[in-house]
Amino acid sequence: MSSMEPHPIQVVVEDDLERSRLTVFFRLLLAIPHFVWYFLWSIGTFFAAIAAWVVALITGRVSGGLHSFLSAYVRYTTHLFAYLCLAANPYPGFTGQPGSYPIDVNIPPPERQNRWKVGFRIFLALPALLLAAVLAGTPGFGGGGGAGGRGDEPGWTGWTGGGLIFIVAFFAWFVCLVRGRMPNGFRDLQAYALRYNAQAQGYVLLLTERYPNSDPSAPPAALPPERPAVQIQVNDDLRRSRITVFFRILLFLPHLVWLVLWTIAAFVAVIVGWFAALATGRLPDALHRFIAAYVRYSTHIFAYLFLTANPFPGFTGAAGSYPIDLEIDPPGPQNRWKTLLRVFLAIPAFFVSGALNSALFLVGLFGWFVSLATGSMPAGLRNLGAYAQRYAGQTNAYFLLLTDRYPYGGPWEWAPTPEAEAEPEVAAA
């Protein structure tokens, strides 16, 4: 559920998760004609965007022809990226026709826009483009992101990690080849990233003056197919103390020291727990409590560091003691094979979590400036941070043997707090 008016640019998902193994296997090669077309269209879009900018500055709106051309480009990019990263199955068309693809974009007709916002659009869009780069591996417009499309530029690719959706696509490729089906969580994660990317493109290309909404719990998010063993509780009111925000990194230091010490103890506990779980088929209660507290504690302190929560966290990782908290299921039986191979099985989840943590870093960075200026955190950024932390918490819980249920990658709806509901998103986030 979104905490604000729906964004005018929406992604619609009508995908059935079925994948053709043959086209999955050759997907990158099959997309070669699209790469050529995408490159040419990006050049055309560059000039069209300049023309649209001049027109919008003079008349206060983008003319119908330019709007259609740029809208088609945004849709086409979304179709292409969805195909490349396995978020959809059919081969996309070359025209960006609305309603022609299972992952599609709804774009509103031309609207009147504030000329000041038009004039400074490229600067206003920079934070959104950075976040889009982290999520979708492209700076939004004319990026040529693609699968490895920027692999020859180590600095850029190194920073964005190739985009979250392409990291997910790498692992999804193997899954789709084996099962012929895309995991629900991975597809939803990619739909979210594509939505944000489309909104960022739409903002830069003057299709709307609404700032992109980073809230992962907004549509097309849906409930997960089964209840995850680790869930996040968000009871944060979005208020931020400017002074603690200003010193946040330094205030984190005592927790960092404590985390290092606790990590050493947790490491020993997990080794013991691994043998116990292999022998008995479940993690002993005492070890479960200890490790769960450790996982919760790390969630609390990173929520504090990256500004997804406000108060200084405690040092015990007590359940229910922090506005961003993990609800971890009690110990239950675990599959011994999964326990035996846990280190290897967790590797994909760690990669995805790492990519989400890049987004979390940006949440902290942008949130720092916004919170310092306004004394509150934008709901969308906070929710994105909470999403990244939920996935990290699930990954840690899985790796540290608290559960044998694999982390669920997709964003899902959660009931926002009344305060969050009332809080408007800060446009400059």
Partner 1 sequence: MGSDPRGRSRAGGRSRIAKRVALALLLALLAAVWAIAAYLLWRTTVPSGLDVPAVDPKSIFSTEDLQRAIHYDRFVRWDFLATQVVLIAGLAVYAAYGARFVRESAAGRIGTGMLLAMLGLGLLWVVQLPFGLAELWWQRRYDVSHTPYGEWVIDNWLALGSEFLFISFAILIVMGLAGPLRDWWWIPGGFVFVGLALLLTFLFPYLLPGQRPLRDQALVAQAKAYERQLGVGDIPVRVQDVGTETTMPNAEAVGLGPTRRVILWETIVRPPFTFDEQRVVVAHELGHHARKHLWKGIAWYALFAFPGAFIIARVTRRRGGMREPEAVPLSLLVLTVLSFLSLPVENVITRHIESEADWVALELTKDPASAEGAFKNFTVSALADPDPPLWDYVLIENHPTVVQRIGMAEAWRPRHNAGG
Residue 287 or 370: the one with the smaller Cβ distance to partner 1 is 370
Q: What are phi and psi of 400, to 5 degrees?
A: -90, 15
Residue 31 or 232: the one with the smaller Cβ distance to partner 1 is 232
- Measure Cα distances from 40 to 54, 92, 143, 203, 325 in Å: 22, 17, 12, 21, 47
Q: Do the beta carbons of residue 82 and residue 17 sit within 8 Å?
A: no
* Tokens, residue 109: 């007709």
Q: How far is the CB of 288 from partner 1 (least distance, A)?
A: 23
Q: How far is the CB of 420 from partner 1 (least distance, A)?
A: 18
- Measure Cα distances from 403 to 145, 230, 291, 300 in Å: 36, 8, 11, 20
Residue 178 or 260: the one with the smaller Cβ distance to partner 1 is 260
Residues that bind partner 1 (CB under 8 A): 241, 243-244, 246-247, 249-251, 253-254, 257, 310-316, 321-323
Give the integer Cα–Cα distance in Å for 277 and 398. Answer: 13
Q: How far is the CB of 311 from partner 1 (least distance, A)?
A: 4
Residue 29 or 253: the one with the smaller Cβ distance to partner 1 is 253
Residue 267 or 315: the one with the smaller Cβ distance to partner 1 is 315
Q: How far is the CB of 254 from partner 1 (least distance, A)?
A: 4
Give the integer Cα–Cα distance in Å for 174 and 24. Answer: 9
Give the integer Cα–Cα distance in Å for 120 and 34. Answer: 32
**Cα torsion angle, 27, 103, 216, 380, sign:** positive
Residue 116 or 246: the one with the smaller Cβ distance to partner 1 is 246
Q: How far is the CB of 217 from partner 1 (least distance, A)?
A: 23
Q: How far is the CB of 258 from partner 1 (least distance, A)?
A: 9
Q: What are phi and psi of 373, to 5 degrees?
A: -80, -40
